[in-house]
């Protein structure tokens, strides 16, 4: 199985370990992520006002390029996924906007690509049972906090990957990998997102609440699906630990790194050294590495 | 506090314009407070989401524009997911933000963004931040 794949800017640069671990895991499980021959930035935010049609042209260009390579497109970053999926729906359902957008990008795209998050590929195309069957290094004894954030889930009627208030797709994957998912209060709350640019205080507060609620629930690992969540959590963690001496810092990793680990990939190739939190002490403690 | 209302305030053309930009009808809000309850940044907003809606219903867009609320909204859509009336405060605040940015007024100037941030941050944060804060 070959699936056209859109990495997006961040996975091509500062989150390279997210990209490489996902490709490697795919090849172990038995499918290939075929990077689009041509792609550009998705715009990194879906325009929240309907009058902003120009903001839809960049993702529309990605989608029309993807259509030339097949009828499905997968992506890993929650924001890319959100922007592409929502834009696709506008193009499919709104003829007037479709014409304007196609006029701008000089294409005839109709919204017929099916956008799947990598988690959906694993659940719906591969099957979590098959993933479980491929596990060589189960994450036994690890209590994992599956941090969804916002963009993977909302708005429900446009995204629909899972129940928007009580999702389980992410926990189901971690369970298949042998880990024990923990239930924590802020798993679908915001990390502070783009406020990283000008409001460190709010980001530290929001990311802090996510991590504190995870650790209070007993987590020894936080798993993410978005490079901005990953960045905000990792950057905030030392400040959270400084402000609250009772806080116990935990490693934060991309879900594909956890996946690769469980599938038995060479630990050296998972790019953990690119994360700013260190997972190795935990792996040693649990007898996994 | 004594509030003086006039029909011309409530019929504010600026609010009507914001409704056109955002696609929202401010009168749909019945002030239940769910949006402020779900909003992760309402604690830091000078005017939290429910009150934003009330000010707009009363035609007082200026009060909202002078507050920090539109710049703090992270677009997480908790307000919209939980609104029993299907109102998106996120769209309203983005409409106000865009209206300001389109006039060339920035919240953050590119030169103010710290270099270490630009070097280390995910591209998506930089692109998104520029789109949300730079006019
Ligand atoms: S989208 Fe904005 S206003 Fe709505 S809950 Fe999130 S931060 Fe608050
Ligand atoms: S949740 Fe909806 S109806 Fe309730 S106060 Fe907020 S905008 Fe108004």
Question: How confident is the model over B113-130, as a mean pLDDT?
Answer: 92
The first and second tokens of residue B119, run together, are 């070097």
In terms of domains, do A172 and A107 share one? Answer: no
- pLDDT tens for B61-74 read 999 999 999 999 99
CA separation for the pair B18, B98 (Å, rounded)? 10
Do A86 and A46 touch, CB atoms closer than 8 A?
Answer: yes
Instruction: Give the confidence band of B103 by pLDDT, cuts at 50, 70, 90.
Output: very high
Q: How far apart, in Å, do the first and last CA atoms of chain A sit?
A: 31
Residue B51 CA: distances (Å) to CA of A208, B26, B37, B45: 26, 12, 12, 10
Instruction: Clarify whether residues A281 and A255 are in a common domain.
Output: yes
Q: Cβ separation of A197 and B80 shorter than 8 Å?
A: no
Asked whether residue A96 falls in the same domain as residue A194, the answer is no
Ligand 2 atom at minimal distance to the Cα of residue B30: 3
Task: Judge whether residue B3 has pLDDT over 80.
Answer: no
The C-alpha of B33 sits at a distance from chain A's nearest C-alpha, in angstroms, of 18
Yes or no, beta carbons of A43 and B131 under 8 Å apart: yes
A209/A239 Cα distance (integer angstroms): 12
Residue A131 forms part of a structural domain: no
Helix (H) or strand (E) holding B96: helix B89-102
pTM value is: 0.96
Rounded average pLDDT over B14-41:
97
Contact A76, A19 (CB under 8 A): yes
The reported pLDDT for the residue numbered B115 is 87
Mutate which of A14, A45, A49, A195 to disrupt the B interface (most B C-beta within 10 Å)? A49
Which stretches of chain A score pLDDT less than 50?
A: none
Instruction: Give the C-alpha distances (Å, rounded to integers) separating B29 from A40, A81, A202, B84, B85.
Output: 39, 30, 27, 9, 7
Q: What is the pLDDT of residue B2?
A: 80
pLDDT score at B48: 98
CATH fold for domain B7-103: Fumarate Reductase Iron-sulfur Protein; Chain B, domain 2 (1.10.1060)
* Three-class secondary structure of residue A142 per DSSP: coil
Q: How far is CA B92 from CA A167, B9, B10, B17, B79, in A?
A: 27, 18, 17, 11, 11
A46 neighbors A82 (Cβ within 8 angstroms): yes
Q: Name every chain A residue with its beta carbon within 8 A of the beta carbon of B90.
A: 48
Residues of A in contact with B16 (CB under 8 A): none
Measured from the alpha carbon of residue B77, the closest ligand is: 1
pLDDT at A96 (0 to 100) = 97
**Domain of residue A174, CATH code:** 3.40.50.11810
Structural domain contains residue A126: no
Q: Is the pLDDT of residue B8 over 90?
A: no
B48 touches ligand 1 (CB under 6 Å): no
| CA distance linking residue A12 with residue A34, whole number of Å | 14
Number of domains in chain A: 2
* pLDDT at B83 exceeding the cut of 90: yes
Tokens of A285: 């403690």
Q: How far apart are CA A70 and CA A65, in angstroms?
A: 9
- What range defines the domain where residue A263 resides? 137-285
B76 and A150 within 8 Å at the Cβ level: the answer is: yes
- Give tens-digit pLDDT for A213-238: 999 999 999 999 999 999 999 999 99
Confidence of residue B21 (pLDDT cuts 50, 70, 90): very high
Mutate to test the pocket of ligand 2, among B85, B86, B88, B91 (most ligand atoms within 8 A of CB): B85
Could you tell me the strand order of the sheet in which A72-75 lies?
A: A32-35, A2-6, A72-75, A114-117
Scan for tokens 């507050």, then name that residue.
B67
Rg over CA atoms, chain A:
19
Q: Is residue A191 part of a domain?
A: yes
Same domain, A44 and A180: no
Asked whether B65 and B100 are in contact (CB, 8 A), the reply is: yes
Q: Is the CB of B95 under 6 A from ligand 1?
A: no
CB-based contact A195:A157 (threshold 8 Å) = no
Please identify, among A66, A84, A119, the residue that sits at the C-terminal boundary of a domain.
A119
């Amino acid at each position: 199985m070959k699936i056209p794949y859109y990495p997006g800017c961040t996975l091509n640069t500062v989150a390279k370990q997210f990209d490489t671990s996902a490709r490697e895991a795919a090849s172990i499980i038995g499918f290939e992520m075929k990077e689009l021959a041509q792609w550009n930035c998705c715009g990194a935010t879906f325009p929240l006002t309907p009058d902003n049609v120009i903001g839809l042209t960049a993702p529309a260009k990605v989608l029309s390029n993807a259509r030339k390579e097949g009828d499905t497109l997968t992506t890993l970053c929650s924001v890319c996924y959100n922007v592409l999926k929502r834009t696709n729906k506008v193009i499919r359902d709104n003829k007037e906007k479709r014409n304007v957008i196609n006029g701008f990008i000089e294409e005839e795209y109709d919204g017929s690509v099916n956008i799947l998050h990598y988690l959906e590929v694993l659940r719906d195309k591969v099957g979590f049972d098959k993933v479980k069957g491929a596990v060589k290094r189960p994450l036994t004894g690890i209590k994992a906090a599956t941090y969804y954030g916002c963009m993977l889930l909302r708005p429900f009627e446009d995204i629909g990957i899972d129940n928007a208030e009580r999702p389980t797709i992410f926990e189901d994957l971690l369970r298949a990998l042998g880990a024990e998912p923990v239930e924590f209060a802020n798993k679908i709350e915001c990390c502070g997102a783009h406020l990283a640019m000008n409001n460190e205080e709010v980001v530290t507060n929001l990311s802090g609440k996510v991590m504190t609620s995870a650790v209070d629930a007993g987590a020894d690992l936080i798993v993410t699906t978005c490079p901005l969540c990953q960045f905000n959590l990792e950057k905030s963690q030392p400040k959270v630990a400084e402000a609250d001496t009772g806080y116990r810092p935990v490693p934060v990793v991309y879900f594909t790194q956890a996946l690769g680990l469980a599938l038995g990939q060479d630990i050296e190739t998972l790019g953990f050294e690119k994360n700013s939190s260190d997972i190795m002490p935990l792996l040693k403690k649990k007898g996994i590495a | 506090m004594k509030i003086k209302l006039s029909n011309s305030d409530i019929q504010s053309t600026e609010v009507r314009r914001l409704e056109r930009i955002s696609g929202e009808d401010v009168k749909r809000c019945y002030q239940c407070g769910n949006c402020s309850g779900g909003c992760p940044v309402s604690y830091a907003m000078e005017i939290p989401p429910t009150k934003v809606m009330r000010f707009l219903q009363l035609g007082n867009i200026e009060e909202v524009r002078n507050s920090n609320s539109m710049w703090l909204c992270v677009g997480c859509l908790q307000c919209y997911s939980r609104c029993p009336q299907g109102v998106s405060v996120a769209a309203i605040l983005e409409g106000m933000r865009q209206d300001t940015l389109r006039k060339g007024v920035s919240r953050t100037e590119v030169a103010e963004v710290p270099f270490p941030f630009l070097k280390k941050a995910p591209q998506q944060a930089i692109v998104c931040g520029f789109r949300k804060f730079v006019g």
